[in-house]
Chains A and B, each alone.
Chain A
């Protein structure tokens, strides 16, 4: 007899489930029979609660908005706000920033109005963020200096950015 599930291998296992009128019988190969175990798994202690429902309701509201606006995509991973809401997951770390107003709305909801991290700060990553922010503000300063034609000052700021970027490159390895 051929396995009912894959229709390829010889059926070596006979599985019965239920009883009486609800009884079903299946003839499966070893591989497919093993797969039939999967629905008996204990729930994993991690899936603490299902946010899909919540996100789906946000998604319905979103699609109306989206039809009016042009679709925006995350530069890093290509996610749109629709795919994020549908999946219930962000596509990459940059999505949080790309869709900042939506992500703040979602986080506020799922984290019961908590909006600020107060826990552990990873040493290396937080140093990286500091440098990144410093470079951003120096760039703004530089643009202003160039506009006002204060070139001497601008050269100093430019060198400062360069050295920060160089230091950051070292830190990347």
Chain B
């Protein structure tokens, strides 16, 4: 694993409009052992031995031996959760960084498989096969009625959370997200921003995921999610064609302004950079920037704070303010990526 680089599964993926990456997560616990909130890692030693034996093809990542900024990078790569940077000690990660297993996070074992261009069904098959391998070694906490027992009741049953990341500038700028999100809630699904706290998330990137884990099979959850995803993509396409047909001048103006900013800025915040990248990605998708290609998912990761901090470390430059230095380095990176200059 190269720390400061974007995960291979992302760099190897094809660039597509709207749909970014997909993810499957399975929550599992071992029976006769308190859940992590009631258990110290020492109590897990027997389980960890069994996991080590079952997961020889994955790399063990010992978080207790890592610097904070390296853990932050794993969070930005979505390989571990923010909670896990504080209490996590061990995770297993595959070479292409598409598979990660967190030990003793909220549940004893959390299996995660990510991919871009792979269907959720394929990702689930991979996660489930891994799950079967672990079940051979471990005694899972399972109940006839409630299925897989988890620390949080929102995960009982399948323990499955399936999610898809979507770039939705059309719906986001057209103020359509809230209405869609409300409708989705009624079916037990959620749509929410993945980066940032505000009403409009960073880079107009949203995540569609299932909220219910009980009373439906894994296949049903994934099929419904796929259907809803297609409907959202259709609505996004519709908004984009309205943009292209009725508001072309305005759209072109903001896309080219963003392109110019990324090409020439010398200091830029994460929020501003993400929004300009989102505009340029939209411009490429709308074929308004025909000579230009973008690696949106990759670049959204590269501008995150821990990634930039990693670049700063290699430069060994002196700086008065960390935040200032990060914004400056982010602008330098973007000039290289977008304009081909430094």
Which A residues are closer than 8 A to B by beta carbons?
A: 13-17, 31, 33-38, 40-49, 51, 76-79, 87-93, 96, 103, 106-107, 110-112, 114-126, 128-129, 172
Bound CA span A78–B305, Å = 41
**Selected contact of B157 from candidates A47, A106, A114, A128, CB within 8 Å:** A114
- Whether B195 is near chain A, meaning CB under 8 Å from some CB there, is yes
Chain B residues 287-316 with CB under 8 Å of chain A are 304-306, 309
List residues of chain A with CB within 8 A of the CB of B207.
45
Q: Which of B7-15, B148-156, B168-176, B236-244 lies at the binding interface?
A: B148-156
| Binary contact track B70-83/A, C-beta < 8 Å → 1, others 0 | 00100110100111
Least Cβ–Cβ distance between B126 and chain A, in angstroms: 14
Q: Taking each of B142, B161, B165, which has the highest tally of chain A beta carbons within 10 Å of its own beta carbon? A: B142
List residues of chain B with CB within 8 A of the CB of A44.
75, 78, 81-83
- Whether B323 is near chain A, meaning CB under 8 Å from some CB there, is yes
List residues of chain B with CB within 8 A of the CB of A35.
68
- Whether B31 is near chain A, meaning CB under 8 Å from some CB there, is yes
Q: A16-B324, A92-B33, A125-B139 are in contact. Are A117 and B147 (CB under 8 A)?
A: yes
Bound CA span A120–B160, Å = 10
Flag if B128 contacts A120 (CB, 8 Å).
yes
Flag if B82 contacts A14 (CB, 8 Å).
no
Flag if B214 contacts A114 (CB, 8 Å).
yes
Flag if A48 contacts B190 (CB, 8 Å).
yes
Q: Taking each of B29, B31, B322, which has the highest tally of chain A beta carbons within 10 Å of its own beta carbon? A: B322
Given A43-B197, A114-B212, A117-B144, 11 extra CB contacts under 8 A: A34-B68, A37-B72, A42-B194, A44-B83, A46-B161, A48-B209, A89-B151, A116-B215, A119-B157, A120-B217, A125-B142
Q: A40-B270, A48-B161 are in contact. Are A96 and B23 (CB under 8 A)?
A: no
A-B contact pairs, 12 of them (CB 8 A): A13-B321, A34-B69, A38-B68, A41-B72, A45-B23, A46-B161, A48-B211, A88-B152, A90-B151, A121-B142, A125-B139, A129-B142
Least Cβ–Cβ distance between B7 and chain A, in angstroms: 14
Q: A51-B153, A77-B35, A172-B139 are in contact. Are A117 and B145 (CB under 8 A)?
A: yes
Bound CA span A117–B160, Å = 12
**Selected contact of A123 from candidates B135, B152, B156, B324, CB within 8 Å:** B135
Q: A40-B270, A43-B195, A89-B106 are in contact. Are A117 and B139 (CB under 8 A)?
A: no
Which B residues are closer than 8 A to A by beta carbons?
A: 23, 25, 29, 31-35, 37-38, 67-69, 72, 75-76, 78, 81-83, 85, 106, 128, 131, 135-136, 139-154, 156-158, 160-161, 163, 165, 188, 190, 193-197, 202, 207, 209-218, 270, 304-306, 309, 320-324
Bound CA span A111–B153, Å = 8
List residues of chain A with CB within 8 A of the CB of B160.
119
Secondary structure type dominating chain B contacts: mixed
Flag if A42 contacts B188 (CB, 8 Å).
no
Q: A45-B207, A51-B154 are in contact. Are A118 and B29 (CB under 8 A)?
A: no
Least Cβ–Cβ distance between B211 and chain A, in angstroms: 6
Bound CA span A36–B72, Å = 11
Flag if B153 contacts A107 (CB, 8 Å).
yes
Least Cβ–Cβ distance between A1 and chain B, in angstroms: 13
Flag if B37 contacts A91 (CB, 8 Å).
yes
List residues of chain B with CB within 8 A of the CB of A31.
68
Bound CA span A33–B37, Å = 28
Bound CA span A35–B305, Å = 12
**Selected contact of A49 from candidates B158, B193, B211, B215, CB within 8 Å:** B211
Flag if B139 contacts A116 (CB, 8 Å).
no
List residues of chain B with CB within 8 A of the CB of A112.
188, 212
Bound CA span A33–B72, Å = 13
Least Cβ–Cβ distance between B29 and chain A, in angstroms: 6
**Selected contact of B215 from candidates A36, A111, A121, CB within 8 Å:** A111
Flag if B322 contacts A125 (CB, 8 Å).
no
Bound CA span A15–B135, Å = 48
List residues of chain A with CB within 8 A of the CB of B146.
96, 107, 117
Q: Taking each of B67, B148, B195, which has the highest tally of chain A beta carbons within 10 Å of its own beta carbon? A: B148
Flag if B152 contacts A114 (CB, 8 Å).
no
Flag if A111 contacts B156 (CB, 8 Å).
yes
Residue of B nearest to A172 (CB): B139
Residue of B nearest to A113 (CB): B215
Residue of A nearest to B325 (CB): A13
Flag if B190 contacts A49 (CB, 8 Å).
yes
Flag if A34 contacts B67 (CB, 8 Å).
yes
Least Cβ–Cβ distance between B283 and chain A, in angstroms: 24
